[in-house]
Amino acid sequence: MIADPVTALLQFETRLPLGRPADLGAFARHLWLYPLAGWVTGGIASVISFLVAPRSPALAAAAALAAVLLVTGFHHLDGLLDLGDGLMAHGSREKRVVALTDRSIGAGGVGLGITVTLLAYAALSSASPVWVAILAGEVLARLGLVWITVAGRPFREGIHATLHRGARPVHGVYALVFLVPLLLVLPPGTILLAAVVTGLAVAGMVTLADRLFGGVNGDVAGGAHEIARALVIATLVLVP
């Protein structure tokens, strides 16, 4: 039943109260559903920003960004911070992996977290309307999670490895169906460009992770999500 993978997906991607825990493996076999979580988190954030925007576009942007972070329990932001530590670590691959997977957060993590969050906020505060930008950013960033889970060879056991084993290349194609509703609010060319930007961000992250860490883990995937969302929103602002 499709209800089981959807429940597992939303339990993994959000902190919404959804009853008893579902089997994550059920979602792994339906990885193409990832962008559905973007419609949920982005939908919540877009409603909040829509209500706040008439008073203050800047506050609407901050509220939208805060909403997606809170609804997800800072899940992917945590990965971004760990990724920053891994990227900034000096020495061998083993030392970089230790920095990436260590539970403490160092200057590299704080620096990357601030940089990406500032970019996302600056782009959102310049977007018109904010609710469209945050919705598109969340959906396309989850599309990026499909692609990085399919393409990113795991370097250790963990959640990413579990999802990777259930993933199939065709899932990256199936997931594109979730972009179709965005045609109601964005031109086709803009959506295509944002998807290309997402793909380039994922390809760059997979290449970098292979070189520095020997593969991808959940922290790399989470960091890629945060970076992709910021880049997508910036693309929507910069494209006329």
Instruction: Report the sign of the C-alpha dihedral through residues 133, 137, 138, 139, in that order.
Output: positive
Whether pTM exceeds 0.85:
yes
DSSP 35-100: HHHHHHHHHHHHHHHHHHTTT-HHHHHHHHHHHHHHHTTTHHHHHHHHHHHHHH--S-HHHHHHHH
pLDDT over 70 percentage in the chain: 98
Average pLDDT score over residue span 126-144: 97
| pLDDT tens by residue, 67-112 | 999 999 999 999 999 999 999 998 899 999 999 998 889 999 999 9
Average pLDDT score over residue span 159-181: 96
| pLDDT tens by residue, 183-211 | 999 999 999 999 999 999 999 999 999 99
DSSP state of 215: S
Q: Residue 138 is part of which domain span?
A: 3-238
> Into how many domains does the chain fold?
1
Residue 1, pLDDT above cutoff 60 = no
Residue 3, pLDDT score: 62
